[in-house]
Structure 1
Amino acid sequence: MTERWNPDRAAARLRRPCAADDKYRRGVLGVRTGSARYPGAAVLGVCAAWRTGVGLLRYAPPIEERASEPGLPPPAAAVLAARPETVFGEPGGRPCDAWLIGSGTDPAERPFAEREALLRLLRGPSPAVIDAGALDLVREARSGGGPTAPAILTPHAGEFERLWRDADLDALPGGWAPRPPRAGSEPPPTEAGARRDAALRLAERLAATVLLKGSVTVVATPRGRDFAWGPATPWLASAGTGDVLGGILGALVAARAEEVRADPELLGPLGITAALLHDLAARIASGDEEANGAGRPITALDVAEAIPAAISRL
């Protein structure tokens, strides 16, 4: 039975800081996102994670062979200009509590050294939020028989279909649509059921939680729990908002990393909480409080900047 999420349940997943906290106790998030082609993806994810309340954020630029595009800064320079409180470089003696990887990267342009670095993270102890250009490594990381990090994948419909094929699953469930429903609308019951069933099957096959993005976001865990939130405000249907969602989720996971390592199924509630918080921030930024399409156009950075107000609202 799908668990429909709500603000009260989401609020219970947010970690309120206390007097005994320091920056490390509030969660240390490592971010390995962005590229010479897409430096903005790194900026959006980092900004969203900071605005969600992570205690410390370490940005480790992906290894690249491509030089930055003419007129564009390298991802690290773009992140420094946007969020100077960010720490840079690989972690030293103290590992990160969680990692966000893949946003704004292209596996077709990934050098061998970067592939190996990502696989080390996926086989390490820290929970990982895996987006976009790192999704293709999940099955390989989990096929060696060794330890693997608790992981939550954040594909859109097209990425989900590629993951499905790579996992050697049979035909997608009847009712599956190649594109999610129009932003701001509920999918038909047959399509909603197909998205739920497909997410559950992929989560079981990959032994990882799956967050299937769309107007209605579906989250499925390997042990068969599934959650839903939406329909989200249609103003969220714009470039870069997925990078913001990744940053929100990375911060939530870093704050609860010890609990997630003990029980990776907790990535389900954290994933759907991130989707709700993402939608609420977009509604606040756009003025679309009732999620009915009223309000005004927004950008992904507007959503990131509204996250503190959304957390306060919850």
Structure 2
Amino acid sequence: MRTAYDVDTVRAAERELMTHLPPGTLMQRAAAALAAACANMLGRVYGTRIVLLVGSGDNGGDALYAGARLARRGAGVSAVLLSPDRAHPEGLAALERAGGRVADDPFEVLAAADLVLDGIIGIGGGGGLRPDAVPLARAARGSNALVVAVDLPSGVDADTGEVRGEALRADATVTFGAYKPGLLIDPAREYAGVVHIVPIGLDLPSVPAVEALQHADMADLLPTPAAESDKYRRGVVGVVAGSARYPGAAVLAVAGALRGGAGAVRYVGPGGDAVIARFPETLVSDGSPARAGRVQAWVVGPGLGDGPGVEEVLASDVPVLVDADGLHGLDPEVVRARSAATLLTPHAGEAAALLGVAREEVEAGRLAAARALASRYAATVLLKGSTTLVADAEGPVRVNPTGTPWLATAGSGDVLSGLTGSLLATGLPARDAGAMGAYLHGLAGRHAAQGAPVTAYGVAEALPTAWQDAARPNPQ
């Protein structure tokens, strides 16, 4: 499991560690790791031109000490001091002893740089760059230099992933001791580039703020039939989806459900003929959900329009996944009163409607929106998007690490709903089912797309390959 910790937790761990170390040791560890990472990215240090953008905090000190190490290896290192009177004095002295210098013309050295180290703002920042830093950030990005962020790109929020002003987009980020949530969650994640985490000896708590499944976790969690399993013991998922206007939603939701681990799929709705034509193994009913037969979980909403079924499904005593049209006008009190788990799977627009805010607010603060929805509905929430998050009332928020922008295609969410509902029917908790469904869906999207446009049905067809891939704890 990849874990991320909020700023307060990281700082507390740093303070505790520093009580057992000589003064300055922790910064030297960070600087040594930062310099080594930069050297690896450059490939050759001697003769390269490196520019340090130095703020007044510890990140500026890290950058100065790392610059000193690179200068001793033959790099030409220039420091641009944003607050000269507040620059880390020992770090600046170390840089000058090693042959580095303070730049006379920051824009001249930035234009010629091979690598720029962003040490402007540390993990405590979050309101965007100050006006005096913006031209320097733009000059760094406008050059041909590799931009490397120290711990976190300047101008992004470490705890939330929000970007509330201008920020410096990095090609790579070297972060110390632990991931910070903003390195895993958009929009900040896009500013981080490739993230390199380096250990510095922090003793962190067992429960993080944010976590992300990895292949090894998937291999442990994926349901596997036992020798005595039959289709009913493996779980039956019911799907209430589709309408005269959107019959394809029924087909796509069933396509995902059939590949999600449950032993059987019951379909209820007006799309029965289309579903049977594509998937004859589906158990189709044209009545109400209550008369369709026993299920271990329900999926309701994809392409449903204003058709019936949502209230009846929510009145059941089994886990329910609510998506798309099922989310329209969803009553928090009805959901909160349920005895079984409820998993809501909105995209940003649907989440905004449920919260009564603008879509832009959800997209800018995805972590806060997911947590707010989970609290309001006392449910597990899978917030879809460029960073898919799974949140419930307690425990770390899960961030999905798989996917591709090609998944932004019509019907993709219907496949995800069916797949995740099927995982629910196997007996997985809603949090695990949501995170695993997003992981498999994202992996299938990669397999199906291969860098080209993909259809939702193509994603569904790639799910078995994704499952096989995720079932290997150590993929090659």
Q: What range is the shorter-chain TM-score in?
A: 0.7 to 0.9
Count residues in correspondence: 258
CA drift of 1:231 comes to 6.0
Contact 1:30 1:60 in 2 (8 A): yes
How big is the shift at 1:10?
Answer: 2.2
> For 1:35 and 1:303, how far apart are their aligned partners in 2?
22
Q: Secondary structure at the match of 2:330?
A: helix
Q: Which amino acid aligns with 2:436?
A: T
Q: 1:60 aligns with which of 268, 273, 288?
A: 268
Partner Cα distance (1:141, 1:28) in 2: 24
* Equivalent position SS for 2:259: helix
Q: Distance in 1 between matches of 2:447 and 2:366?
A: 28
Report the AA paired with residue 371 of structure 2.
L
Q: Aligned partners of 1:20, 1:158: CA distance in 2, in Å?
A: 44
* 1:281 corresponds to 2:474: no
Higher relative contact order (CA 8 A, sep 6+): 1
Q: Which runs of 5+ in 1 are unaligned?
A: 62-73, 166-170, 181-190, 261-265, 288-294
Q: Which of 211, 216, 222 is equivalent to 1:3?
A: 211
Which among 122, 135, 146 is matched to residue 314 of structure 2? 122
Corresponding residue for residue 312 of structure 1: 468
Q: How does 1:30-179 map to 2 (within 5 A)?
A: 30-61=238-269, 74-89=270-285, 90=289, 92=291, 94-106=293-305, 109-110=306-307, 114=308, 117-135=309-327, 136-142=329-335, 145=337, 147-165=338-356, 177=360
CA contact (8 A) 1:229 1:272 kept: yes
Superposed CA deviations along residues 211-269 of structure 1, whole A, max 9, x for unmatched, are 1000110111022531101362111111110001001101110011xxx5xxxxx3112
**Unpaired runs of at least 5, structure 2:** 1-208, 471-476
The structure-2 alpha-carbon separation of the partners of 1:118 and 1:177, relative to structure 1 and needing over 3 Å to count, comes to closer
Q: TM-score, length-normalised on structure 2?
A: 0.52
C-alpha displacement of 1:34 = 0.7
CA 1:218/1:301 → structure 2, altered by over 3 Å: closer, same or farther?
same
Matching residue's letter, 1:60 = V
Q: Give the equivalent residue in structure 1 for 2:229.
A: 21
The Cα shift of 1:123 comes to 2.4
Which of 268, 271, 284 is the matching residue for 2:434?
A: 271
Q: Spell out, residue by residue over 1:57-96, the C-alpha distance to the aligned partner (whole angstroms, 9 max, x if none).
A: 11111xxxxxxxxxxxx51111010100111124659521
Provide the aligned C-alpha RMSD in A.
2.0
Q: Is the 8 A contact 2:371 2:391 kept in 1?
A: yes
* Residue of structure 1 equivalent to 2:151: none
Selected match of 1:302 from 458, 464, 467: 458
What secondary structure sits across from 1:59 in the alignment? strand
**Shift in Å, 1:200:** 0.8
Report if the CA contact (8 A) 1:123-1:149 is conserved.
no
**1: CA distance, partners of 2:291 / 2:361:** 43
Q: Contact conserved, 1:56 with 1:86, CA < 8 A, in 2?
A: yes
Which one of 391, 396, 405 corresponds to residue 220 of structure 1? 391
Q: Name the SS for the 1:85 alignment partner.
A: coil
- Displacement, 1:138? 4.3
**SS class of match (2:398):** strand
CA deviation after TM superposition for structure 1 residue 158, in Å: 0.4
Q: Secondary structure at the match of 1:12?
A: helix
Do the aligned partners of 1:122 and 1:148 also contact (CA within 8 Å) in 2?
A: no
Q: Hey, what does 1:68 align to over in structure 2?
A: none
Given that 1:4 and 1:228 are in contact with CA atoms closer than 8 Å, whether structure 2 keeps it comes out as yes
Partners of 1:91 and 1:305 in 2: how far apart? 30
Aligned equivalents of 1:301, 1:158: Cα separation in 2: 23
- The structure number with the bigger radius of gyration is 2
2:402–2:439: 8 Å Cα contact kept in structure 1? no
Post-superposition offset of 1:285 = 1.2
CA spacing shift, 1:25–1:161, aligned 2, 3 Å: same
1:195 deviates by 1.0
- Say yes or no: does 1:230 pair with 2:401: yes
Q: Which amino acid aligns with 1:160?
A: A
Q: TM-score, normalised by structure 1?
A: 0.77
Q: Which has the higher strand share?
A: 2
